[in-house]
Amino acid sequence: MLCYQYKFPRTPKIRWDYALNYLFQWAIATLLMIFISIQYITPLIQNAIPHIKSRNILGMLERIAKLAIPNVGSWILMFYANFHCWLNFIAEITCFGDRVFYKVLIMNLIN
């Protein structure tokens, strides 16, 4: 279903406190993703290389299991940073006023 509007609600002005708050949250989430990658994911992958070269199935499964939690945390932070913080920051900068735009579409699809 394609949904397009010629005119959409706009806010009267840019709320810089909200915009900077979203930008700050985006920066913190991005730094946390980098921290998780450097501190947890990279050493686990480097420790998995000998198991991969020797084709040790149990060692590889152990490394995959150890990667699960930091990987999920990194994915959650990525979605939060991109879809919540960054898109709300862009919406504030462009004065986009209809923040529940897709809620009407979803409610129409459900009913």
Summarize pLDDT for 15-74 with one digit per residue, the tens: 999 999 999 999 999 999 999 999 999 999 898 888 889 988 888 888 888 899 999 999
The number of domains in the chain is 1
Q: What is the pLDDT of residue 106?
A: 66
Instruction: Report the alpha-carbon distance of residue 32 to residue 22 in Å, rounded.
Output: 15
Q: Is 7 part of any domain?
A: no
Q: Is 70 part of any domain?
A: yes
Q: Is 94 part of any domain?
A: yes
Q: Is 46 part of any domain?
A: yes
Q: Quick one: which of 19, 22, 3 has its CA closest to 94? A: 19
Q: Is 11 part of any domain?
A: no
* Domain of residue 100, residue span: 16-110
Q: Is 98 part of any domain?
A: yes
Q: Quick one: which of 75, 64, 94, 62 has its CA closest to 33? A: 75
Q: Is 4 part of any domain?
A: no
pTM: 0.75
Q: Quick one: which of 21, 11, 4 has its CA closest to 91? A: 11
Instruction: Report the alpha-carbon distance of residue 78 to residue 75 in Å, rounded.
Output: 5
Q: Name the strand (E) or helix (H) holding 52.
A: helix 42-53
